[in-house]
Amino acid sequence: MNMTRTASILALIVIAGCTVGPDYVAPHAEAPPQWLGQPGVPSQSVPDERWWAGFHDPQLSRLIHEALIRNNDLAAAEKRVEAARDQIRIEAAASSPVIGLGGIAENRRQSQTIQWPPRASAGDYRYWSLGFDGSWELDLFGMTRRRTEAARASQAEMAAERDGLRLRLLAEVGADYVTWCAALARLQVAEDRIALVAHQRDLVTHEWRAGARGHADVDQAEADLAAAQQTVPPLVAQATEMKNALAILTATTPEAMQLTPRADFSIPLPPARPPSLPSEMLTRRPDIQAATFRYARDNAEIGVAVASLYPKVAIPLDFGVTTSTLHQAFTTASLLWQLGVTAGETIYAGGRRTAQIDAARLQRDAAWLGYRQAVLNAMRDVEDRLATIGDASARTSSVNLELASARERLMHTEREYRSGEASLLPTIVDRDLVDQIHDRVIATQLALAISDLALYKSLGGGWETNSTR
């Protein structure tokens, strides 16, 4: 058989190659026609940093940017994605020929009591060899292609997990920052209230000395002041803890973290929620993406297991020179080469390979169930967040009405005091009540902001909106 016929046969073998195992079909789960309490046209998602700019807080935008570029956990996740990308190259390289270069220079002595090598070369002689050797395992049944496919799916799964970490990171930065702002706002209210209660204590003490009150009233005023002062240390500790947490999330030492309180000590609020949920929620949530790629990887592994049932075919190749006299090393007479086809197949393995196929199919089926469960969990997560937001919104509205009523009463009491119809003490009492309700307003606003950030995480990112708070 000449070289032309050999090459033709090899070409036919390669062309006849196929990829065994099931082809990937993306999993699909039906979403409800509309989300509970969220009718309307589906809104669109927006890039993260643009969505966070909707808080209208430059300091928060800076923290978000620093977390994205400096957070150690996110950087480590990116390195794992890059390593997975290299694994694709490793798996794909198995379909390429492997070529090596080697040489030998040595003195040999063959036994003189055997018939080979011939007597003419028996005894001592020199041996020089230089050449290439290689082997090309033909991917006739797609094992390498399936392994590469599985590696790509694994890389995509790891990228989705990185995106999930990024989403959780940004949500945590936002939650820690609004909690820090709320702690400062409540601390401001607490300090104002302490000054007011101290003034009330001084008035009660003065009236007691004038004989207008009993000592029990003084004791009660002192107790009220002590209770008001006790609210400060927990708020200071909370603000410090949130500042330190933001330092860690942005890869900064706590001592180097610099934060400036908002001018009005308010809580930055997220962009207004859309009238409907982003239509691509089921495709952009990182956990659902990861489950999808996990299913694709396990589906490809079935093909790898099936391909192991078929023969392995390789083309060995050797080319070089071998001589006992160095000056003849590059003459035609010293040339040697080898080209052919080798094939091998395992006849019996105790059922191991069929068991591998069964295990791969079961693993793929488990991944499919995992995808379905991820979708159900996502739907429940969103509905839970919407319910929490509804509750927080109702409580915020209620306590705002209560604050408005308390302020109206305070205005009436102050008018009576200025007109001489009442003493200063009722005014102080009403101011104290306003401060207490104001503290509850801040707490409910914080709960609502945290709920919005939880919805952001549940939806897999921010949403587009033309309205403002």
Q: Of 5-14, 111-120, 255-264, 326-335, where does the model show the most confidence? A: 255-264
- Give the C-alpha separation, 248 to 254, whole Å: 7
> What is the reported pTM?
0.82
User: CA dist 227 to 207, 221, 435, Å?
Assistant: 22, 10, 14
Q: Over 80: is that where the pLDDT of 423 sits?
A: no
Partners of residue 77 on adjacent β-strands:
none
Question: What is the distance between the alpha carbons of residues 347 and 207, in angstroms, rounded to a whole number?
Answer: 106
Q: Is the pLDDT of residue 249 over 60?
A: yes
Q: Which of 95-109, 158-172, 345-359 has the lowest mean pLDDT?
A: 95-109
pLDDT, residue 17, reads 56
Lookup: tokens for 66? 């620093």
Distance CA 240, CA 180 (A): 8
pLDDT in tens, 263-296: 988 999 888 876 666 656 667 889 999 999 999 9
Q: Return d(Cα 238, Cα 249) in angstroms, integer.
A: 16
Domains along the chain?
16-96+141-310+351-463 (1.20.1600.10), 97-111+121-138+311-344 (2.20.200.10)
**In this prediction, what percent of the chain has a pLDDT beyond 90?**
45
CA distance 454 to 178: 13
Which pLDDT score is estimated for 9?
45
* Distance of alpha carbon 439 from alpha carbon 436, whole angstroms: 5
* Residue 135: strand pairing partners: 98, 316
Distance CA 68, CA 166 (A): 8
Question: Which two tokens mark 68?
Answer: 């994205």
Looking at the predicted structure, is the pLDDT value of residue 117 above 60? no
- E-strand stretches of 309-365: 312-323, 335-339, 342-344
pLDDT band at 41 (very low <50, low <70, confident <90, very high): very low
> Residue 130: in which H helix or E strand, if any?
strand 123-138
CA angle 25, 27, 33 (to 5 degrees): 135
The secondary element (H helix, E strand) that includes residue 312 is: strand 312-323
Tokens of residue 231, six digits? 């609210």
Residue 277 has a pLDDT of 65
> Alpha-carbon distance 43 to 211, whole Å?
69
CA distance to 57, 63, 463, per residue, from 53 (Å): 7, 11, 12
Q: How far apart are CA 207 and CA 211, in angstroms?
A: 6
pLDDT of residue 424: 78
pLDDT score of 318: 80
How far, in Å, CA of 308 to CA of 345, rounded? 9
Q: Is 63 in contact with 173 (CB distance < 8 Å)?
A: yes
57 has pLDDT over 60: yes
